[in-house]
Amino acid sequence: MSFYIKAWEDSVNKVKETSKRIGASFPHACKNGFYDNSYPSWWTNGFWPGILWLMYKVEKEESFAEIAKEVENKLDEVIQNYYGIDHDAGFLWILSSVAQYKILKSEKSKQRALHVANLLAGRFNPKGSFIRAWNGEGKEGWAIVDCLMNLPLLYWASEETRDPRYRHIAQAHADMALKYFVREDGSVCHIVSFDPENGEFIEVKGGQGYSPSSSWSRGTAWALYGFALSYKYTKDERYLNAAKKVAHYFVSALPADYVPYWDFRINPEGEPRDTSAAAIAASGLIEISRLVSDGEKQMYLDSAQKILKSLYENYSNFGKSDESLLREGTSNKPEKTNINVGLIYGDYFFVEALYKLLGNSELFW
């Protein structure tokens, strides 16, 4: 039996148990064995329903669908009050509303997702060709690498409505990211600051990386996967080339067990790993393997499987009471937040990568 078949079975069995307690809440970080419950607008709140919908598609476990629907309903509070919605709108509603629409053809879910796509598009600054990242004074000109993973909400909305404006905004942001985020060696930065009035570049900020010139491993994973998704929707070869370039950097920088430390440009002694970066990259590498020529496929697929096998054998909580599937995730090292814990997005991308290896092609992105 291939390791990923067993890993999928173990994941499903664990979620069957943990979902009884977690229910329709907003798990983010698993500390002291249990997932917390974050506030409704927190950026990770789509990953739990995303896990449930992926498993529902394969296992047809009705309880998974019911919990995912409840979580989506709770997210209406965020839409109605318009607090906290930012560039991460895709993470919340692609994996909840778009997922339910694709699986169950829910018209209400479709309307939710299109409404949020409008809100995301409304964050686009035409002067600098970027989607504004966070809210708050002083951040009006900030763009971040994570946003590449939220662009599929706009691509999907463009296809669903046959309105190219959503796609134009997504591509403009992706083009900006090609220019300002990807370095010559394939590493990426986290935050780029522009003048929000005239769009002129100001500076690179360290963000969740060690420094402005360092290489935050999760940001690298967001980039390799995000550019691959932009290529998937647009067939613009520049995006695929960028995804491959970043992927080569990521894989070449991995330690012997294929699970990165939180930043590639630090002395690793005593530093924490980030299993979430590994899981994101693994799913992104599988995505790239589906987009490249036949002669290139196996290289990306082999790298993804090595990462996933190490996560399963060395960093998982199977057979343990901890609710997260993976341990040793690092959320925000510079701010000393959620270090060496299970993270719901690490779990999601681990499940998504296994889902792909099982031969499933339909995704929510």
What positions carry a catalytic annotation?
A: 88, 146
Contacts with 136 (C-beta within 8 Å, 6 or more apart), sequence order: none
Strand partners, 163: none
Half-sphere exposure of 255 (CA within 13 A, CB side): 21
Contacts with 237 (C-beta within 8 Å, 6 or more apart), sequence order: 231
Q: Which of 44, 332, 328, 340 is nearest to 209 (CA)?
A: 332
Question: Three-state SS for 136?
Answer: coil
Sheet containing 201-205: which strands, arranged edge to edge? 142-144, 191-194, 201-205
Q: How far apart are CA 63 and CA 206, in angstroms?
A: 42
Q: How far apart are CA 180 and CA 135, in angstroms?
A: 21
Q: Which residue has the tokens 């930012």?
A: 86
Question: Which amino acid is located at 287 in the chain?
Answer: E
Q: How far apart are CA 27 and CA 329, in angstroms?
A: 14
DSSP string across 160-226: HHT-HHHHHHHHHHHHHHHHHTB-TTS-B-SEEEE-TTT--EEEEE-TTSSSTTS-BHHHHHHHHHH
Question: Which amino acid is located at 215 in the chain?
Answer: S
